[in-house]
């Protein structure tokens, strides 16, 4: 039957295609015979409109780009093929080059012969042939490209930041200070995140609270920041510049307006609950509580499952003593809808559950602690007012063992390095020694003290007389083999420096547990339409060149949500994300890839097959004319409706049937004269 | 010999419905008679192949060619008429896309013959099958050879226009006759070569009067198994109606008559593969996410390949099933 | 020296059936072969399709009588599902079918078969076509003819959904019924159809029976064969097209067998020859004795003439009168002269028109109860109707999902393949004698021999009714043509 | 099938997950057979069965369709449409006598470069075992683009 | 009725009779249907592999080959003996991982017309089967005589959990399956950190002093933690701790009396099966005390109601160990 490729294919005469094959140093040239490929393209694809084919060391370099621009101007090229790395890396670069030479950027097509050929194949002949096929496909495809104009969308200046840890706080302040509105959504009753739980921060040992609290307060009081704690994002609609976000504001059971934050209710509440969040399970809180005295906002929440009133209907102690009568037992969740232009995700991390390594005895042996427990233990505002004591609450340890890489760099748990554990362990070594004078042992695989002043801190801790044993601890046991082990925790380890097994009896063991993604990170990623690594860390747009943006326009990531990192790095990334957002806001509008679907009305039969297919509600049906229409603003260009339309009445710019069908022919070398094929 | 332009109509592997459809333009047939010198139209008159051969190339102005290319004879005539005709029209589903006989491409020609000559009522103990040439006591006699794969007209010769339908609706034929007559009188222009004439650009749903909603298919039904709502889209009621993918132009006759569209008008304008469109459309609106559920629903489509390629098989991208291709390649070898 | 005469369609390369005539040394006809060079393989590719599609697929076997295949298929599908369609559905189907018969017989008499008489066997072939008829009988009658075909097709479309290849019959009945307005229109057209049928008979009377030369031609021995005759009859042994039992009478007109459609395989078998794609059905109980007629040969005939021979009369009054007159004129039952088929066809034309009105005036015809949903497990089923060109049998086997696993088809014209071959042989032998020069006149005679059968090889293959333009090549022993005669030079 | 037979496989990837998986396989230098040639779509939901039939008809021995994991689609749920089409395509191809194993659906997230590579490798082996499809060589219409260069009726070499 | 192929191994019929008897005794109530591999041979224990690899693997694989011939609806092979289990699992694993080894081994097996497809069998330890296939819930249902008040020391030995080729255990350093099983039986389970320590294996023959030290650790710890009885899943461990306890006492001048039983024996007791059916009395260090404890102990009186308000907790709160489902959940997190 009628094959629309022929009908819509521009006649050969029109095509003036330039093919540019990149060596990428030896990255490509090392495996693919780029010279042969270029010559081949010049000859075998001549009849398909290829007028010039060049190879060059680095196409992406400015001389490389100049080559293209020059040819466009001098040879009047109207199509360009660049065979190099992945389009995700340099598509922009070469499109810009074309634009500079006055060629519509969308008439340039990239062919990946690095990521998809030279880097994954070893057989040079086969790789070279595959590169030819790829280019042939690109040529056929680009012949069907049409000049496109990017789609311009306005940017709503308001920004949503999810997660009130240090990264989120930093982003929020940067943007708010620049004079734009920020919604900061935090799941817990207060912002501050993990940093608020710490006592000191490495390597400078300045007091965590002292540097964080002011920031927390300025967030709480900032006119440009709407702080939504005890809240969670439920749904995200829309697209960059124009997101509409549904937030559930959980019932605090306290009227934030009336409450003065005096704290009497917490004092009077008879119900004591182990605080597994802020106190890391090492301390208690009440059934009505603020995580800490420094909480922002300084407004308590009622822990409904633990509150006697909700259990028995009696008590009401808090209510009775509350002067401003701010307690609202009947308060309900609120659903808010926020309209924002950009979103920053700073949802942080979770501590590795050390109980998963039973032979380290956490949860079994009382005096085995986790890093976070020690943070609280050393914290002056913590359950022991900063006294480092054993589980009994009084005894001071005389010897302490700190085990590194707990749950990290271990194929049984997490392969990755949690980055912060080394420095954190050194910090503990210092603090414990300082507070107790105890002898401290560190058991490590390597000491990773990169970054400013870190190694200096390591030296300092060494000088303090801390013992360092290089070796992965086999087990922590309370089974003595001799009298001086009795009553102690024995750390069984192979000292790899001296190459012998050691059993070191200590009073207290600190497990420097690694960092893990939030348990619900995958659901969160789904809600926001971004992707997660296998472990659950959010995936950045590019590991090196763009560790802040995501694949989804308008959604940025900061802090540990993207991967383990320490405070300075989190702050830096938070600020960077803010800068990116501010840039967007300043532009007021942004250009989007013109990859969109549209309906050819006279072809549309109004069968309504496509109507239910669009998750972005871009498809509407006009009962009057009995035709379907696609709203280009809402369309995200996935092309599902294009593929589904039984009448072939929907076309997709950028990924049209013609382009793909032609590319198939090209890839299968259907476009080469028989003799050329055999040649 | 008159000065009137010459007209020819020919059928290859077809059922003759196309000729009947032409006769069904009733009075309009006289216009044809008035405007054309009908030089070759076996159904309506006698003429001689030798005369056609004698004509000079391109001397026939308009040839309506219906029927698919089933045997070497069909192919020969197709090429001859191509030579002799200025305008060659693939007329009717068979010439356009193979039509029902195209379904034969699902099996190879041997299977076809064997099946036909071993039915329960056939008395054929010695497995006698027709042979291209057979010598009787009196001498050799011949019959044409069946090709392994039934071909559409444009798979053997260049085609100027396509007129789909099984058969093309009479009102469409009338329209085309009007057009041609106008063109002859210089009152109209011919459409660009390769275009489809005598049909719409959209699909059957465009002409179908049944009400429709956003589609979701929870199960496929058999037309005999339900009492369909006479006013509601059949597909929405689970009846596999090919209307959404089938070119408009028939006034949605079958759906209007309560029967599902079976797709005789072929794919819509610009569509490359008719069946693929239906695969995609039907699958897209299935209301299930788990592979098992999906399979359960798909089980309701007892004959997907037949459903999607009933008329279009020979004209589809894949064109025939593996067995037929095997036969074809051996055939090619024999030829070589 | 042996001569070989190839009587061929327009070209040997064209698939419309061809005739080989071999002469012996005496220059007399040694043998003739009537070959059918086409096969589309429905028996094969219908396998795997859902059985409810068979009425739609088998339609495409023949565009001249798709209604016949649609009906036979629908009835077979009913049988497969063991479902009995509602009375209304059956009536609607038969109404559609009667209207179709009317159109089809009209087409043949005026466009295909009739011209031989209306315009004359000797007339230039260029005129022997529907246009020629119109020219001859004048636009007024031509208009009538066109209107007749139109009327029939209109009814087919109203009930069958489409003019050609109807689509509404499904297992258990139809997908739609008709409204009172439809009915009125249909009845009106039906009444007109009766007039037209009577007019056609009158025309036949005046032109044919009024012309002694034609009468002699009809009664002449050339076109006479003594075979068995097959037709479908109702409980009173009167002709019925849509429903009933199949009845076969012997050359003496005595009932040979009267069987249920499902038992066809016990009664009919098909003989295979390697030189043609078409099979030769015969009466199983008697057996295949070669191309010979008479009581001992299983060869039978299924045409309008056969149907009349096989029945005791027509089910409608006017047609019954004609029936009586027919046998009176031709000297009692059965009539063996093939050319009488043309007359018989007109009698059926009248019957079809009368039946049309009968059904159109039945109060039940507009009932909305036109479909019964099948509930039984599908298995196997046979459907038989009388196609204009002979008894049409469809037989399907399906799996439990109702997907066809096996198909058998014995189509109208196939029934007559053997008799046609014999007629050709006889005509040829009696016309071509030693030393005679073959003239196109002879060829027309030969052509008429089988045109009487109104053979529709579209049904079995794809060529069209009656059209068998001839060309005779007389070759010497070396096969060199010594003389080429064309039909209308 | 003899080792000498090198299947040609057309692979469709979605822009967000599987194409990135392919990129990742590259950056991680994970080796896989060179038999697969990739086409980037925005989403597996863009996959028109026509593309698959076209590829098979024009000489591909197998087609690999890849997309984000169910529930992780960049476009929320469009990969489910791909899944449904895939299942119906398999059934349809069966009718053509084409082993459904010649088309494979693979979910690969942007992080699963290794998985992508191993899926390609195993698919290549599976198709190799099935042998050449040869559809294109069996007389299917030469691609329009090639017709200019080719004699009508000639089948592509 | 869950069906398994049983590889008993040599010890079951000799030193570990008690294990075998008790296993037979409990299979019925548990619905365990064990079909013994016909003509099985020794697994080569720990030594053979260190002597010569190929024949050692062939020796083991022979059993697997025989088993796979017997495999019909079930493909699970159960080995109660740790050494046997380890060897079978090891052979299967390395034949899978190292195709070359698989090939040579199968060549060897070919001599006996045997063949084993690596990975075709699922090799399981009895404990694994009971905890994960039968399930603790159904075990609990069978308990009629809870081991209330009996302080049991769970001891697995070193061979079963490590290296855990196919991830059968909650943790390969510190598996808790046995603990949970014994809890379900109503016993008072001692936290025994040495549960996967080596019992000394064949050391008693090679270097008694080393062996005795290893035994002392195990026994003394069990004793210090007020264990009434040690429970094991390994015939080797049972033999060492039971058989050498006397010599060990002499060697150190200690006077430990720590009976060691097979977990199946305690299950039997809990199921209310007669001690003699369970092979009680076959042990050298009498487990009389176990029976006594259970015999004399009156059913536990209902515990006193907890104080209305919990006392002010002392010291710092402490996390509770993970429960089995929690571990499972976390494991799932890790996998993916």
Q: Nearest CA to B199 among B86, B328, B91?
A: B91
For residue C89, what is the DSSP state? H
Q: Is B298 part of the contact surface with chain D (CB cutoff 8 Å)? A: yes
Q: Do residues E278 and E268 lie in contact, with contact meaning Cβ atoms separated by under 8 Å?
A: yes
Q: Tell me the average pLDDT across B238-251.
A: 95
Q: Is D41 part of the contact surface with chain A (CB cutoff 8 Å)? A: yes
Could you report the per-residue pLDDT of B78-117, keeping only the tens digit for each?
A: 999 999 999 999 999 999 999 999 999 999 888 888 898 9
Q: Do residues D33 and A122 lie in contact, with contact meaning Cβ atoms separated by under 8 Å?
A: no
Inter-chain CB proximity B116 and C44 less than 8 Å? yes
| DSSP3 helix / strand / coil % (chain B, rounded to 5) | 40, 15, 45
Is the per-residue pLDDT at C98 higher than 50?
Answer: yes
Q: Is C199 part of the contact surface with chain B (CB cutoff 8 Å)? A: no
A and D touch per CB criterion (3+ pairs under 8 A): yes
Inter-chain CB proximity D81 and B276 less than 8 Å? no
Q: Is B49 part of the contact surface with chain C (CB cutoff 8 Å)? A: yes
* Residue B168 in tokens: 């093309």
A610: which chain B residues are within 8 Å (Cβ-Cβ)? 284
Q: Which of E171, E319, E336 sits opposite A281 (nearest CB)?
A: E319
For residue C403, what is the DSSP state? B
Residues forming a β-bridge with A21: A55, A83
* Main-chain phi, psi angles of A36, to 5 degrees: -60, -45
Distance from CA of D63 to the nearest CA of A (A): 11
pLDDT at residue E74, as a whole number: 81
Q: Is E221 part of the contact surface with chain A (CB cutoff 8 Å)? A: yes
Q: With bands split at pLDDT 50, 70 and 90, how would you rate the model's confidence at D114? A: very high
Low-confidence winner among A126-130, B25-29, B231-235, E238-242 (lowest mean pLDDT) = B25-29
Residues forming a β-bridge with E32: E2
For strand B139-142 and strand E188-189, is the pairing parallel, antiparallel, or unpaired? unpaired
Q: With bands split at pLDDT 50, 70 and 90, how would you rate the model's confidence at B336? A: low
pLDDT at residue B239, as a whole number: 95
Distances (CA, A) of C111 to B254, C150, E231, E252, E329: 29, 14, 104, 124, 84
Q: Tell me the average pLDDT across C431-436.
A: 68
Q: Which of D48, D84, D92 sits opposite B305 (nearest CB)?
A: D92
Distances (CA, A) of C296 to A525, C289, E51, E123: 88, 8, 94, 79
Q: Do residues A491 and A510 lie in contact, with contact meaning Cβ atoms separated by under 8 Å?
A: no
Inter-chain CB proximity B201 and A602 less than 8 Å? yes
pLDDT at residue E332, as a whole number: 52
Is the per-residue pLDDT at C38 higher than 80?
Answer: no
Low-confidence winner among A278-287, B117-126, C145-154, D128-137 (lowest mean pLDDT) = D128-137
Is the per-residue pLDDT at E301 higher than 60?
Answer: no
Q: Round to whole Å and give the CA distance between A219 and A182.
A: 10
D97: which chain B residues are within 8 Å (Cβ-Cβ)? 106, 321-323
E and A touch per CB criterion (3+ pairs under 8 A): yes
Q: Round to whole Å and give the CA distance between B248 and B207.
A: 7
Is the per-residue pLDDT at C445 higher than 80?
Answer: no
Q: Nearest CA to B68 among B329, B325, B277, B320?
A: B320
Is the per-residue pLDDT at C344 higher than 60?
Answer: yes
| DSSP3 helix / strand / coil % (chain A, rounded to 5) | 35, 25, 45
Inter-chain CB proximity B71 and C277 less than 8 Å? no
Q: With bands split at pLDDT 50, 70 and 90, how would you rate the model's confidence at C428? A: confident
pLDDT at residue E311, as a whole number: 60
Q: Is A524 part of the contact surface with chain D (CB cutoff 8 Å)? A: no
A644: which chain B residues are within 8 Å (Cβ-Cβ)? 280-281, 284-285
pLDDT at residue C116, as a whole number: 66
E and B touch per CB criterion (3+ pairs under 8 A): no
Inter-chain CB proximity D140 and B317 less than 8 Å? yes
pLDDT at residue A98, as a whole number: 95
Q: Which of D68, D117, D149 sits opposite A120 (nearest CB)?
A: D117
Q: Is B190 part of the contact surface with chain C (CB cutoff 8 Å)? A: no
Q: Is B306 part of the contact surface with chain D (CB cutoff 8 Å)? A: yes
Q: Round to whole Å and give the CA distance between D44 and E73.
A: 39
Residue A395: how many CA atoms within 13 Å on its side-chain side? 12
Q: Do residues C6 and C23 lie in contact, with contact meaning Cβ atoms separated by under 8 Å?
A: no
Distance from CA of E283 to the nearest CA of A (A): 27
Could you report the per-residue pLDDT of C150-165, keeping only the tens digit for each?
A: 899 999 999 999 988 9
pLDDT at residue C487, as a whole number: 35
Inter-chain CB proximity D25 and A115 less than 8 Å? yes
Q: Round to whole Å and give the CA distance between C16 and C37.
A: 7
pLDDT at residue C459, as a whole number: 41
Distance from CA of A153 to the nearest CA of B (A): 29
For strand C18-23 and strand C29-35, is the pairing parallel, antiparallel, or unpaired? antiparallel
- Name the range with the highest mean pLDDT among A152-161, E172-181, E306-315: A152-161
Domains observed in chain E: 2-125 (1.20.1050.140), 144-296 (3.40.50.11810)
Is the per-residue pLDDT at E296 higher than 70?
Answer: no
pLDDT at residue C115, as a whole number: 65
pLDDT at residue C439, as a whole number: 64
Could you report the per-residue pLDDT of E185-235, keeping only the tens digit for each?
A: 999 999 999 999 999 888 888 899 999 999 999 999 999 999 999 999 999
pLDDT at residue C2, as a whole number: 56
Domain boundaries along the sequence of chain D: 9-152
* Residue C435 in tokens: 């030393």
Domains observed in chain B: 1-199 (3.40.50.700), 204-302 (no CATH)
pLDDT beneath 50: ranges in chain A: 1-13, 675-679
Instruction: Tell me the fold of D9-152.
Output: Rossmann fold (3.40.50)
Q: Nearest CA to A265 among A219, A186, A321?
A: A321
- Give start and end residues of each alpha helix (H) in C361-416: 412-415
Is the per-residue pLDDT at D140 higher than 80?
Answer: no
A658: which chain B residues are within 8 Å (Cβ-Cβ)? none
Q: With bands split at pLDDT 50, 70 and 90, how would you rate the model's confidence at C435? A: low
C and B touch per CB criterion (3+ pairs under 8 A): yes
Q: Round to whole Å and give the CA distance between E319 and E329.
A: 18
Subunits close to B (at least 3 CB pairs below 8 A): A, C, D
Tally Cβ neighbours within 10 Å of residue C63.
27
A603: which chain B residues are within 8 Å (Cβ-Cβ)? 201-202, 268-270
- Name the range with the highest mean pLDDT among A483-492, A612-621, C335-344, C458-467: A483-492
Q: Tell me the average pLDDT across C395-418.
A: 91
pLDDT at residue A176, as a whole number: 97
Could you report the per-residue pLDDT of B272-331, keeping only the tens digit for each?
A: 999 999 999 999 999 998 999 999 999 999 999 999 999 999 999 999 998 888 888 777
What average pLDDT does chain C have? 83
Is the per-residue pLDDT at D143 higher than 60?
Answer: no
Q: With bands split at pLDDT 50, 70 and 90, how would you rate the model's confidence at C277? A: confident
Cβ burial of C172 (10 Å; 0-12, 13-18, 19+) is buried
Could you report the per-residue pLDDT of A406-416, keeping only the tens digit for each?
A: 999 998 899 99
Distance from CA of B200 to the nearest CA of C (A): 18
D98: which chain B residues are within 8 Å (Cβ-Cβ)? 318, 322
Total-model pTM: 0.74
B137: which chain C residues are within 8 Å (Cβ-Cβ)? 31
Q: Nearest CA to A401 among A273, A511, A290, A254?
A: A511
Is the per-residue pLDDT at C343 higher than 50?
Answer: yes
Q: Name residues whose C-beta falls within 8 Å of residue C222's C-beta, 6 or more positions apart in sequence.
A: C426, C427, C430, C431, C445, C449
E-strand ranges in E122-213 read 122-125, 151-155, 188-189
Could you report the per-residue pLDDT of E21-40, keeping only the tens digit for each?
A: 999 999 999 999 999 999 99
Choose the mutation target among C35, C37, C139 for the interface with B, i.e. most B CBs under 10 Å: C37
Helix B170-184 and helix B28-35, axial crossing angle in degrees, nearest 10: 30
* ipTM exceeds 0.85, yes or no: no
Q: Round to whole Å and give the CA distance between C69 and B88.
A: 31
Is the per-residue pLDDT at C469 higher than 50?
Answer: no
pLDDT at residue C484, as a whole number: 43
Could you report the per-residue pLDDT of D32-74, keeping only the tens digit for each?
A: 999 999 999 999 999 999 999 999 999 899 999 999 888 778 8
Is the per-residue pLDDT at D90 higher than 90?
Answer: yes
* Residue E263 in tokens: 């977990």
Domains observed in chain A: 2-148+662-677 (3.40.50), 152-245+337-348+524-591 (3.50.50.60), 264-321 (no CATH), 350-516 (3.50.50.60), 597-652 (3.30.70.20)
Distances (CA, A) of E282 to E28, E201, E248: 22, 20, 20
pLDDT at residue B41, as a whole number: 77
Inter-chain CB proximity B48 and C10 less than 8 Å? yes
pLDDT at residue C12, as a whole number: 25
Nearest CA in chain A to B283: A644
Could you report the per-residue pLDDT of E321-330, keeping only the tens digit for each?
A: 777 677 777 7
Q: With bands split at pLDDT 50, 70 and 90, how would you rate the model's confidence at B142? A: confident
């Amino acid at each position: 039957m009628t094959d629309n490729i022929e009908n819509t294919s521009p006649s050969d005469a029109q095509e003036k295609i330039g093919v540019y094959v990149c060596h990428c140093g030896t990255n490509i040239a090392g495996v693919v015979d780029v010279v042969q490929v270029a010559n081949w393209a010049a000859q075998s694809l001549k009849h398909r409109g290829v007028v010039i084919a060049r190879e060059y060391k680095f196409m992406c370099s400015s001389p490389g780009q100049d080559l293209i621009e020059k040819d466009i101007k001098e040879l009047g090229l109207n199509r360009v093929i660049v065979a190099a790395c992945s389009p995700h890396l340099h598509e922009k670069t070469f499109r810009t080059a074309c634009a500079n030479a006055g060629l519509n950027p969308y008439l340039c097509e990239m062919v990946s012969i690095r990521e998809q050929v030279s880097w994954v194949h070893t057989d040079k002949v086969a790789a070279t042939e595959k590169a030819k096929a790829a280019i042939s496909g690109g040529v056929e495809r680009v012949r069907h490209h049409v000049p496109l104009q990017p789609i311009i969308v306005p940017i709503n200046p308001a920004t949503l930041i999810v997660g009130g840890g240090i990264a989120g706080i930093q982003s929020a302040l940067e943007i708010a200070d620049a004079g734009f509105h920020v919604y900061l959504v935090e799941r817990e009753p207060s912002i501050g995140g993990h940093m608020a739980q710490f006592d000191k921060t490495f390597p400078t040992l300045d007091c965590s609270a002292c540097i964080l609290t002011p920031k927390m307060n300025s967030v709480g009081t900032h006119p440009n920041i709407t702080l939504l704690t005890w809240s969670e994002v439920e749904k995200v609609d829309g697209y960059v510049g124009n997101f509409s976000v549904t937030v559930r504001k959980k019932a605090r059971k306290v009227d934030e307006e009336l409450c003065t934050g005096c704290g009497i209710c917490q004092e009077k509440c008879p119900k004591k609950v182990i605080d597994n969040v802020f106190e890391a399970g090492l301390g208690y809180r009440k059934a009505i509580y603020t995580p800490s005295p420094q909480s922002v906002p300084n407004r308590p929440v009622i822990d409904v499952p633990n509150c006697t009133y909700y259990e028995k209907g009696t008590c009401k102690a808090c209510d009775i003593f509350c002067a401003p009568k701010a307690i609202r037992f009947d308060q309900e969740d609120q659903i808010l809808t926020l309209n924002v232009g950009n979103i920053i995700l700073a949802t942080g991390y979770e501590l590795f559950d050390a109980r998963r390594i039973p032979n380290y005895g956490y949860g079994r042996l009382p005096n085995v602690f986790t890093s976070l427990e020690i943070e609280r233990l050393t914290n002056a505002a913590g359950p022991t007012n900063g006294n480092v004591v054993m589980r009994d609450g009084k005894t001071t340890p005389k010897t302490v063992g700190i085990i590194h890489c707990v749950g990290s760099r271990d194929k049984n748990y997490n392969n990755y390095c949690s980055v912060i554990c080394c420095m954190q362990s050194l910090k503990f070594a210092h603090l414990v020694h300082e507070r107790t004078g105890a002898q401290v042992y560190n058991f490590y695989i390597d000491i990773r003290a990169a970054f400013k002043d870190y190694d200096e801190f390591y030296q300092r801790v060494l000088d303090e007389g801390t013992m360092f044993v290089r070796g992965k601890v086999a087990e922590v046991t309370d089974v003595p083999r001799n009298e001086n082990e009795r009553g102690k925790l024995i750390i069984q380890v192979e000292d790899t420096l001296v190459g012998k097994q050691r059993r070191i009896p200590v009073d207290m063991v600190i497990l420097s547990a690694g960092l893990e993604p939030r348990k619900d990170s995958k659901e969160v990623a789904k809600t926001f339409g971004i992707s997660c690594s296998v472990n659950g860390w959010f995936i950045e747009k590019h590991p090196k060149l763009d560790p802040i943006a995501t694949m989804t326009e308008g959604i940025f990531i900061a802090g540990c949500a993207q991967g383990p990192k320490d405070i300075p790095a989190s702050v830096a990334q938070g600020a960077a994300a803010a800068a990116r957002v501010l840039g967007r806001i300043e532009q007021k509008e942004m250009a989007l890839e013109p990859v969109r679907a549209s309906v050819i009305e006279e072809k549309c039969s109004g069968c309504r097959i496509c109507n239910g297919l669009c998750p972005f509600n871009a498809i509407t049906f006009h009962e009057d004319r009995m035709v379907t229409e696609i709203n280009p603003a809402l369309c995200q260009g996935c092309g599902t409706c294009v593929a589904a339309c039984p009448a072939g009445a929907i076309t997709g710019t950028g990924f049209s049937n013609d382009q793909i069908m032609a590319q198939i022919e090209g890839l299968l070398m259907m476009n080469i004269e028989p003799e050329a094929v055999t040649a | 010999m008159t000065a009137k332009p010459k007209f020819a109509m020919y059928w290859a592997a077809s059922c003759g419905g196309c000729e009947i459809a032409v006769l069904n333009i009733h009075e309009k047939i006289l216009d044809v008679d008035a405007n054309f010198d009908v030089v070759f139209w076996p159904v309506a008159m006698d003429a001689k192949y030798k005369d056609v051969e004698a004509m000079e190339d391109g001397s026939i102005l308009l040839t309506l060619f219906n029927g698919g290319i089933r045997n070497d004879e069909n192919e020969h005539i197709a090429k001859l008429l191509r030579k002799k005709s200025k305008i060659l029209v693939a007329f009717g589903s068979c010439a356009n896309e193979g039509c029902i006989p195209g379904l034969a491409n699902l099996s190879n020609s041997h299977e076809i013959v064997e099946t036909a000559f071993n039915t329960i009522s056939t008395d054929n103990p010695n497995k006698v099958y027709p042979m291209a040439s057979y010598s009787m006591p009196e001498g050799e006699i011949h019959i044409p050879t069946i090709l392994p794969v039934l071909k559409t007209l444009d798979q053997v010769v260049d085609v100027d226009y396509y007129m789909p339908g099984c058969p093309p609706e009479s009102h469409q034929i009338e329209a085309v006759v009007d057009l041609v007559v106008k063109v002859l009188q210089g009152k109209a222009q011919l459409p660009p070569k390769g275009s489809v004439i005598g049909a719409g650009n959209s699909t059957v749903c465009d002409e179908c009067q049944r009400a429709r909603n956003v589609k979701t298919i929870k199960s496929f039904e058999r037309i005999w198994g339900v009492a369909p709502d006479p006013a509601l889209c059949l597909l929405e009621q689970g009846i596999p109606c090919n209307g959404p993918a089938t070119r408009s132009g028939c006034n949605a006759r079958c759906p209007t008559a309560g029967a599902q569209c079976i797709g005789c008008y072929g794919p819509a304008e610009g569509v490359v593969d008719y069946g693929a469109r239906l695969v995609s459309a039907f699958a897209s609106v299935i209301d299930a996410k788990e592979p098992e559920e999906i399979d359960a629903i798909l089980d309701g489509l007892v004959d997907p390949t037949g459903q999607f390629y009933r008329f279009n098989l020979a004209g589809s991208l894949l064109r025939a099933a593996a067995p037929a291709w095997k036969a074809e390649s051996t055939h090619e070898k024999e030829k070589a | 020296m042996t001569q070989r005469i190839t009587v061929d369609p327009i070209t040997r390369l064209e698939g419309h059936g061809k005739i080989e005539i071999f002469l012996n040394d005496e220059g007399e006809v040694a043998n003739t072969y009537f070959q059918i060079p086409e096969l589309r393989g429905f028996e094969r590719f219908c396998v795997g399709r859902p059985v409810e599609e068979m009425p739609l697929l088998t339609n495409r076997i023949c565009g001249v009588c798709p209604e016949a295949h649609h009906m036979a298929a629908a009835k077979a599908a009913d049988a497969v599902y063991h479902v009995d369609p509602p009375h209304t559905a059956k009536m609607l189907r038969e109404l559609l079918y009667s209207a179709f018969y009317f159109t089809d017989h009209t087409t043949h008499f005026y466009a295909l078969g009739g011209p031989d008489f209306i315009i004359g066997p000797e007339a230039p072939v260029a005129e022997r076509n529907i246009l020629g008829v119109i020219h001859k009988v004048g636009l007024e009658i031509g208009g009538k003819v066109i209107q007749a075909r139109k009327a029939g097709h209109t009814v087919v479309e109203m009930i069958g959904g489409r003019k050609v290849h109807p689509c509404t019959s499904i297992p258990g009945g139809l997908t739609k019924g008709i409204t009172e307005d439809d009915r009125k229109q249909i009845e009106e057209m039906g009444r007109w159809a009766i007039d037209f049928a009577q007019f056609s008979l009158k025309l036949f009377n005046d032109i044919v029976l009024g012309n002694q030369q034609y009468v002699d031609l009809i009664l002449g021995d050339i076109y006479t064969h003594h075979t068995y005759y097959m037709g479908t009859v109702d409980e009173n042994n009167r002709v019925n097209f849509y429903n009933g039992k199949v009845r076969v009478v012997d050359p003496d007109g005595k009932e040979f067998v009267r069987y249920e459609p499902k038992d066809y395989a016990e009664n009919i078998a098909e003989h295979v020859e390697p030189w043609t794609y078409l099979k030769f059905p015969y009466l199983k109980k008697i057996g295949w004795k070669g191309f010979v007629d008479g009581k001992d040969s299983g060869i039978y005939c299924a045409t309008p003439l056969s149907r009349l021979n096989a029945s005791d009369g027509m089910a409608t009054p006017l047609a019954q009168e004609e029936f009586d007159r027919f046998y009176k004129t031709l000297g009692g039952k059965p009539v063996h002269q093939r050319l009488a088929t043309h007359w018989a066809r007109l009698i059926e034309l009248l019957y079809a028109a009368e039946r049309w009105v009968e059904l159109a005036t039945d109060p039940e015809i507009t009932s909305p109860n036109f479909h019964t949903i099948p509930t039984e497990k599908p298995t196997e089923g046979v459907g038989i109707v009388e196609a204009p060109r002979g008894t049409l049998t469809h037989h399907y086997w399906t799996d439990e999902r109702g997907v066809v696993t096996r198909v058998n088809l014995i189509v109208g014209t196939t029934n007559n393949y053997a008799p046609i071959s014999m007629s050709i042989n006889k005509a040829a032998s009696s016309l071509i004698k030693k030393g005679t020069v073959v003239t196109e006149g002879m060829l027309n005679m030969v052509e008429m021999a089988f045109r009487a059968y109104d053979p529709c090889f579209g049904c079995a293959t794809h060529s069209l009714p009656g059209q068998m333009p001839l060309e005779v090549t007389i070759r010497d022993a070396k096969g060199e043509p010594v003389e080429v005669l064309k039909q209308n030079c | 099938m003899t080792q000498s037979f090198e299947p040609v496989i057309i692979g469709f990837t979605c822009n967000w997950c599987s194409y990135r998986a392919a990129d990742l396989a590259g950056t991680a230098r994970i080796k896989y057979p060179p038999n697969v040639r990739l086409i980037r779509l925005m989403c597996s939901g863009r996959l028109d069965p026509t593309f698959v039939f076209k590829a098979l008809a024009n000489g591909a021995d197998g087609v690999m369709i890849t997309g984000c994991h169910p529930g992780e689609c960049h476009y929320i749920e469009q990969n489910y449409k791909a899944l449904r089409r895939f299942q119906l395509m398999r059934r349809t191809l069966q009718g053509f006598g084409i082993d459904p194993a010649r088309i494979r659906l693979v979910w690969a997230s942007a992080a699963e470069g290794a998985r992508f590579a191993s899926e390609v490798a195993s698919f290549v082996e599976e198709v190799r075992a099935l042998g050449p499809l040869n559809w294109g060589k069996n007389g299917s219409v030469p691609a329009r683009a090639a017709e200019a260069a080719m004699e009508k009726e000639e089948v592509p070499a | 009725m869950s069906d398994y192929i049983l590889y008993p191994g040599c010890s079951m019929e000799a030193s570990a009779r008690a294990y075998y008897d008790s296993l037979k005794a409990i299979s019925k109530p548990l619905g365990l249907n064990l079909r013994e591999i016909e003509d099985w041979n020794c697994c080569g224990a720990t030594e053979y592999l260190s002597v010569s690899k190929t024949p050692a693997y062939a020796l083991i694989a022979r059993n697997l080959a025989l088993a796979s011939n017997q495999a019909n609806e079930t493909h699970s092979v159960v080995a109660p003996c740790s050494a046997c289990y380890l060897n079978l699992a090891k052979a299967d694993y390395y034949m899978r991982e190292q195709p070359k080894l698989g090939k040579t081994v199968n060549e060897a097996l070919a001599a006996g017309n045997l063949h084993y497809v690596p990975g075709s069998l699922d090799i399981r330890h009895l404990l694994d089967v009971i905890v994960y296939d039968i399930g603790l819930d159904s075990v609990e249902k069978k308990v009629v005589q809870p081991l209330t008040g009996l302080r049991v020391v769970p001891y697995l030995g070193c061979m079963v959990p490590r290296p855990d080729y196919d991830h059968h255990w909650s943790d390969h350093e510190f598996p808790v399956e046995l603990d949970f099983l014994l809890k379900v039986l109503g016993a008072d389970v001692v936290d025994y950190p040495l549960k996967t320590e080596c019992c000394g294996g064949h050391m008693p023959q090679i270097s008694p002093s080393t062996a005795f030290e290893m035994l002392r650790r195990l026994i003394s710890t069990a004793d210090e933690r007020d264990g009434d009885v040690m429970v094991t899943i390994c015939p080797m461990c049972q033999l060492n701790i039971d058989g050498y306890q006397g010599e060990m006492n002499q060697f150190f001048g200690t006077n430990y009396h720590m009976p060691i039983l097979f977990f199946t024996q305690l299950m039997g007791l809990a199921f209310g099966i007669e001690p003699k059916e369970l092979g009680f009395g076959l042990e050298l260090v009498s487990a009389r005390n176990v029976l006594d404890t259970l015999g004399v102990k009156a059913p536990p009186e209902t515990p006193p109601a907890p104080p209305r308000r919990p006392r002010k907790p002392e010291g710092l709160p402490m996390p509770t160990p993970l429960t089995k489902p929690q571990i499972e959940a976390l494991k799932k997190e890790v996998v993916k």
